[in-house]
Structure 1
């Protein structure tokens, strides 16, 4: 199934407006419920200003998609850190110099290479700069479709890197916050019965969503941050958690059965965020993104 939504606004900064994320959320929910689309096989791609949208939406909605592909767009102020668990392809014409799209795509390739090298097995990506092609790539970028189709969503990855954009979200994979704020960076990983918070704002109320596919809920669960124990004990299965996480997205494969609430350390030593080259100025949007299934 292929869905090409109309952009909800005609403004140049439409990808920085909350209704865009809400539109995609609702589209996915409706198609999962009404058309029995597999929520683990939803893919995102967009061309030109639609590519701008993929750069923006993929990192902040990575837990909704199995893979994403950007064609002929510009990232503006988007960051790639949230793509840790989302295979991401970039296609741009080698002669597509408007807004430095070709140069910025190459810069993102360097950033993704560095992230993948520092986190083995994560940040799966493909960057293709098509030699001799301009803004239109004569469909050479169509290779992105079979590349994306190789992947299915992992709704419960071992490690989550969550960086809030100017459009914020209260939940990302198995992490949730009640007061999302732009710029919040949370990094957490799980191993066995332990959840380790590697990076988070100080004194943050954080909810960790769990189920028996992630760990054994009949045994103690331990949550730590930089060696400090934030929680240890049994986490009961809860009908209320099942209902709430299902109502969040109507996604049966992203519903959880238990949660533990912690407050992060008052003054953690934050891990430095990866640095990247400065991107050129923002372009004017000229085409909507599409979300094929």
Structure 2
């Protein structure tokens, strides 16, 4: 069996025994997976190359395989990610993001909350952005959770919505899940001024990562709110914050979000406050946003998705994915699950991959996928270990593993 223990907030994971083994030919895929994971890390080879990896699984077998893979994932990465957080920075490629974090309150049974809080500044000398980072470190205090103030890797005007930010934030979230026992369904993003610019961009762009988002005193530039369908979004702006028309645009977003929610009452949860008499600095009145966000838990598998690609594109959004050829700025794809039927609609995405698991629908029954007005797929979609392992390795999110997938032509 697998034993998982927690001491001082750090996971200590040990594979103390494995399922009794029959011969390789007669053992189940999950038994073979357990035997594979018990081997030394350097002697395993790629899981995708193993004979058991693409064997169809039952619902119970998929659940067992999922637990084995997550336990092994935590064990393999814990030392490395602990050292990364202890170093005070995360580096991916040519970009390094310093981080400061504090922990508040008692850890819930499901794991800690995580608040990523982006500083202001932008196109300014490094010392200006350094000071803004120091301000952000003490600006907000949640009742519970890990409060992280990262320092932007660059000093550009768009410091929080350049392409490398997505990768760095995903790595930060994964580190916090593994080391600080953060609940992946309680991750929040917030920011002030240029950090608010980042929230406007990253909240819809990375919507599948957030439980809620809070924008303070920022400017959205070209971004669209469409992707916020499943992310509660709060916006705080000083009534007199007229630079770059921030106050006027905040009011416009208030109206846009209200219109979107009116047309789709189950989506676009929002709360907008224009603070009377306040300019760019709101005298901490905006701090109420932290408590507002903390009320929400991420809907990891929403029944309805609106995916609007930003100028920085992404390969996956909730349970939809596209290949590189179809990863286009401005492209829009809508999807909805109704029982065992999935409906996809897009005028500019010719093909997509639908990712599935048993939390979304019953994979023991046939699935119908309708693209536009035609049936694009009907049939059962097998659960496999290779798909579970792929989604864990790609996303670093143990709560959003997918056990099956199918590609669909939309036009």
TM-score above 0.5: yes
Residues 33, 250 of structure 1: 8 Å contact kept = no
Aligned residues: 264
CA distance in 2 between partners of 1:176 and 1:240 (Å)? 17
Q: Which residue of structure 1 lines up, in the alignment, with residue 169 of structure 2?
A: 24
Counterpart among 344, 366, 371 of residue 197 in structure 1: 344
Instruction: Tell me the CA shift for residue 194 of structure 1.
Output: 0.4
Match of 1:41 in 2: 186
Greater helix fraction, Structure 1 or Structure 2: 2
The answer to whether the 8 A contact 2:192-2:215 is kept is yes
Report the equivalent of 1:283: none
Give the SS at the match of 1:79.
Answer: coil
1:70: which partner in 2? 215
Q: Name the structure 1 match of 2:405.
A: 259
Asked which structure has the greater CA Rg, the reply is 2
Q: Tell whether the 8 Å contact from 2:239 to 2:247 is kept in structure 1 after alignment.
A: yes
Partner of 1:209: 355
1:93-147 CA distances to partner (integer Å, 9 max, x unpaired)? Answer: 0011111111100000010001000111100001100000111111111110111
**SS in structure 2 at match of 1:52:** helix
Alignment check: 8 A CA contact 2:216 2:235 kept: yes
CA contact (8 A) 2:346 2:410 kept: no
Name the CA distance, whole Å, in 1 between partners of 2:158 and 2:234.
23
Residue of structure 1 aligned with 2:390, choices 227, 238, 244? 244
Instruction: Give 5+ residue unaligned stretches, structure 2.
Output: 1-145
Runs of 4+ in 1 over 4 A off after TM superposition: none
| C-alpha distance in structure 2 between counterparts of 1:203 and 1:47, whole Å | 38
Structure 1: gaps (5+ residues): 266-293
CA distance in 1, matches of 2:347, 2:270: 26
* Residue of structure 2 aligned with 1:182, choices 329, 333, 341: 329
* Superposition TM-score, scaled by structure 1 size: 0.88
Q: Distance in 2 between matches of 1:243 and 1:166?
A: 30
Instruction: Please say if residues 63 and 173 of structure 1, whose CA atoms lie closer than 8 Å, have aligned partners that are also in contact.
Output: yes
Query: Deviation of residue 16 (structure 1)?
Result: 4.1
Name the Cα RMSD after superposition. Answer: 1.0
Distance 1:163 1:202 in 2: 11
1:92/1:129 contact within 8 Å kept = yes
How far apart are the structure 1 equivalents of 2:229 and 2:256? 12
Decide whether the 8 Å contact of 1:189 with 1:198 is kept in 2.
no
Q: Which has the higher contact order (CA 8 A, sep 6+)?
A: 1
Give, in whole Å, the separation in 2 of the partners of 1:41 and 1:15.
Answer: 21
Is the Cα–Cα contact under 8 Å of residues 67 and 153 in structure 1 kept in the other structure? yes
Q: SS of the residue aligned with 1:42?
A: strand
